[in-house]
Structure formats: C-alpha cells, structure tokens
Amino acid sequence: MNTDLESIHRMAPLRGRLPGEPVPYYLSSGEGVRLEVDGQLWTVIARTQDTGGLFDAAYITGGRGARTGFHAHRDQQRSFLVIDGSVQVWLGRESRVLVPGDSVHVPAGTPVAYRMLAHLTRLLTWAAPGGSLAYIDQIGTPVERHIHPPRATVRTTAEARAALGAPFGITFPDHEEVRASEEWDTRLPPGAEPYFLRAGEGDRVTMGNALNTYLTRGRNTDHRYFAIGTLGGHSPYFVRHFHEQHTENFLCLSGRIWLHVNGQELLLTRGDFVHAPAGTIHTFAFDAHNTQMLGILTPDVFERFFEEVGRPTQDYVPQESTELLTPPTPSPQLQADLDVVVVGPPPERRVGREL
C-alpha cells in the first residue's frame, strides 16, 4: 500500500484494531493484541509493523505479587509509566516503590526488573526503535480476556526466556534485588542514563491553561523519542497541521480529549490511544477539567515546540482560566525548524457537542 504523505492525508483513522502498517488508527481502552505472560496481561497497542519500525507500546496489568525478573534490551530505549496501583522497580543497582504518575527510563543495555505491589496494578511501557514486543508475542499466550487472570495459568521458564529473547537482543542477567530507596527523584539527567522520575517532576512548561511536563527528552533516549505529559482544562482546537518527519501518539490518562484526525473527530477517554504517523492532519482539544494526556513523539524533532511557544515554570499545576485559550500558532520559521506544516484554521466541533 502507498503510504506517502498525500495518501496519509486522506486516510480515515482505522478503529478498533492494529493495522499492520503505519497508518492512522484509534484503539479504545483495553483493545489491541492481548497476551498472558506469567499472570500478567500485556495489551499491545503499537508494534513495529504499525509504526514503521519507530516504536512499540503496551499496557501491562497484574495483581499483587506478579513480577518480571531482571532483563536487558540491547537495542531499545524504554520507558515505563505507572497508571494504577503500585510497583517496586529495580533499575540497575537502584530500586524505588512507584505509584501512579511515577515513571522510569531504561536505556539500552540497562537491567530492569519489577514486582507489582497492589491488586490491579497497570503500567504503560514503550520503546524505540520498535521490535522488542515481538518477544512478548513469542513467549506470551494469546487471550481474549481484558483483565489479568486471578492467578498465572502458564509460567515461563528461564530456558524459554533465554532462547526466545536471544534473537531480539534480550538477555536475563542475574542481579541482586536491593532495598527500595525513598529518594524523591526530580530531575532529568543530561544524557541517556537510567533514571526514576516522580509524578509531576521533570522540566515543566506552561502554555495557556495547560502545564506540559517532560518525562523524557531527546537527550535521554539517544534522540529516539521524547515523552510529555499535559495537564489542563477545557480548551478549543488549535490549527490543523501535520508533520513530515515524525510520528505523534496520544494517550488519554484522565478526562476527555477530542482529536481531529484527517477530518474525523474522535473522543478519547481514559486508556484510549491514537497513533498519528507523519502526514496525518490533526489537532486536539481538552473537554474536561483536569484532563491529562501523554504524548509520545518519535523522533524528537518537535521537542522545542513547548518551550518556544510557552514558558518554563516551577509550578506543578496549570493556571486555571474561565476563557477558552487557543494555543498560539507557531511562526513560519518555527514551523520549518520543528517539522510543523499548518494546513488550516482550527476546526469547529461538529459531534458530541451536547456531552
């Protein structure tokens, strides 16, 4: 199939399933390829074939005591975000107990392990370049269920993990599980180093009635991606645009988000996901108080946008406004520098206006 930019412009987003090719698509919460691994449910929402090899992503749910032992990926930069529950994570020779909003970044070659500490714990994980989730497809058991089992029905063995992981550059080193530190991790490091980040911490930029917080920057991921969380209130659409060189991914963490994708409007609520490859004409609007969105953009060419049109802040919450504040349109020079092609004014909401 021809997936040049002009073709992407005209594509209605595929709904409800992974496409198997890099085109726009939408998944509601719980949908995707679902696999059981050692009592955990992996719900794969992006694979290498869906993203042109750029990245892959999955939700992981499990009960108290579910665990994944030490492993390391030779090629991928990886991140984890706690969505629900609580989890202890070992990162190299450091450990933390993490709660919703906390995150961890795992550079290529760094050993990581985790144990879920609360019932109904859920993590989001993503990695670039794509390909590592093919290991989960190999070692997992396909299931129809949308929640983890009450107890593991199949246990993987060390021999199977080693044999299936080797072709993907995944190894399983033997490391000591040290006690968790209570350190409050607040900073992004200067390079591609392993780190924990507590909820709300990181580099923060305010823009209108929204607060944008970097979970990772390009310098932390060998410029494979950056990830940014946005917390804000009601906002209108901004200009319709597309990107020529990078892919944008939207996950609703709370509240309601309207996404305008190639002329169609999609409502995202908690757990929903939209993949917008290069060429997708899009914009978004928040439609509930205290809406939270995670953006994953790969590669990192667009990273400076938020600082260019907003301003750095030490606050942990956005300024609340009774007005609907339209985000500014970037200047022509900024559009050229940051891979933004503006194609028209903000669209009007046409569906769900009574919601």
From the list 96, 65, 102, 99, the residue with the least C-alpha distance to 80 is: 102
Q: Average pLDDT, whole number, for the chain? A: 94
Over range 297-302, report the average pLDDT.
Answer: 96
Q: Poorest-confidence range of 149-153, 220-224, 272-276, 300-304?
A: 149-153
pLDDT digits (tens, 9 = 90+) for 306-333: 999 899 999 999 988 766 566 677 888 8
Q: Would you state the structure tokens that stand for residue 82, as one six-digit string?
A: 């706690």
Residue ranges of the alpha helices (H) in 83-209?
A: 133-139, 158-165
State which fold the 200-344 domain adopts.
Jelly Rolls (2.60.120)
- For residue 324, the model assigns a pLDDT of 59
Any bridge partners for residue 244, and if so which?
A: none
**Phi, psi at 270, each rounded to 5°:** -50, 125
Cis peptide before 299 (omega within 30 of 0): yes
pLDDT digits (tens, 9 = 90+) for 7-55: 999 999 999 999 999 999 999 999 999 999 999 999 999 999 999 999 9
Sheet strand arrangement including 311-312? 14-15, 25-27, 273-276, 247-254, 291-298, 226-232, 210-216, 204-207, 311-312
**High-pLDDT (> 90) share of the chain, %:** 87
Helix %, strand %, coil % for the chain, to 5?
10, 40, 50
- For residue 322, the model assigns a pLDDT of 64
- Choose between 175 and 351: higher pLDDT: 175
Q: Would you state the structure tokens that stand for residue 18, as one six-digit string?
A: 């992974």
Q: Check pLDDT > 60 for residue 2.
A: no
Over range 59-82, report the average pLDDT.
Answer: 97
CATH value of 32-181+191-195 in 2.60.120.10, 3.90.550.10, 3.40.140.10, 3.40.50.11740: 2.60.120.10
**Phi, psi at 326, each rounded to 5°:** -80, 125
pLDDT digits (tens, 9 = 90+) for 170-224: 999 999 999 999 999 999 999 999 999 999 999 999 988 899 999 999 999 999 9
Binning pLDDT at 50, 70 and 90, where does residue 3 land?
A: low
Q: Check pLDDT > 60 for residue 58.
A: yes
- For residue 204, the model assigns a pLDDT of 97
CATH 2.60.120.10 domain extents, the chain: 32-181+191-195, 200-344
- C-beta of residue 22 within 8 angstroms of C-beta of residue 11: no
Q: Check pLDDT > 60 for residue 1.
A: no
